[in-house]
Structure 1
């Protein structure tokens, strides 16, 4: 969908041109109008159109001056000059200002249709020739990591770098919106691939009113994703692996499962299991057993603790199972371990 601004100081021409554009079936979404160059420039700076139709002879700022400013500040906007025969030679100066097409008054529906078809063809060819930023994984990967780690500064820098690149390419509002929408969708897919929670983007190209609105939508999406993560993690904006380790240390004396820890962190159990192994080099079950046996060794070094009490203290209600596990981990039974320390059981 494309946006148009019609600029003419004659109300009848302004309304007539707008009506033809609206009824032509070109897929032009938003058609606005202004009666002079100053008013038009204000609208352009608030909401840059894809196509600009402008008269030449206007008060306050004429069409050629307007075209010059637009060409410098918004090179993506395709400009059409609407002019009378007497002004045509003067209007041709607009070529130096980036004017793409001319419409001679009195304008007809056919002439407008022919111009719009050429404008749309040029816009679509330009879109096809653009490198697809959505296929660049570097930005997606960086943003995924920033959102996942709840790094608001990195998220802000990522969004700023993206729009700086888009501005530098001189893209139209439509093109910027399309690229941002694609990136937003890919980012949601990457986050959802972690299998933590379903994330939807609510980013619809058709409902975006300009590049600043697209930027605001992306900021809103990233913020909502981080809020969802915080909620799932019970408000703890911390590394989930470190949180899991703390949980283990605090609950060694009782039985608990990987699923319980994953739920506490707001993570899918399968994903948490993979993440823990990747981060620590051992499975969660192995880590839990190792920490229990390390605590058991410390307690066994204190003569005042009975071995049966120690087994309960490190989460084993079944004393034979504790003895078997301890020997497997250390090579000695708890009794043998104490004897080597010179402690009588």
Structure 2
């Protein structure tokens, strides 16, 4: 089933093309209309079409600009330009944006049907449709929510396997698939939060731009698995607040180079999951929080004359005294010795 978007500011053209397409025999799930390029872009963002038929001369945003925007999106959309004789130069420019077909007004039924046939032939060679419907997303959300809420590990694993394969097969770019995945995860966490699961939830994946879909999927998989395990442990009465546990561990080990991975392993959490959870809960990264606590402790020690600055440096995990001084100055705005002078203590 194909999704088609027709872009033209003439109602009669829109109506005529719609009728011709319906009569073509091509399996169509939706035919949408837009009066200009700006409306068309909104429609594309709402539901990615397989084929776009666009006029060139339109108000607000013309077909040339629309073709350029579609090319920038790098979406697997086949575009057909519709124009009059006077627009042929513009049509040639559109071809440079990857436009595959050019139709000259007035358009005949046979001409349109032949064009549709070529579009369908190319689409079949590309493989699976790039479209992810809202209904499909809702279906997967419901299934994932149920598997996690009822701690059904087998079902969760099967969903991760099958949906991972389905996502990978869609004809979308890595960026598009990653964006879908990030939005899906946020919706899933929102649904779980509404059920009052009483566990800390990482509400968004915070995936970096440019991350491959394989890496993004691994993050998603880890976070779903961790959420399921946390819910299981909570219901067994074994789950402590991981962030408070992490803070306490950092506090006990200010003199050591405590790593995020070390604390995550101690808590039985995946490092990526723990990292995002820590940032969402505290508003700081793990390293930022650890550095802040070290500097706060250093300030308390600097307030006691009996401690030498070099000893304080070691006490808060800095074997390199110059590195400690630099970090303290960055945090406090003045050096440790200047801080002591402000307190009326000689270095």
TM-score, normalising length from structure 2?
0.43
Question: Highest CA radius of gyration, 1 or 2?
Answer: 1
If the length of structure 1 is used for normalisation, what is the TM-score?
Answer: 0.43
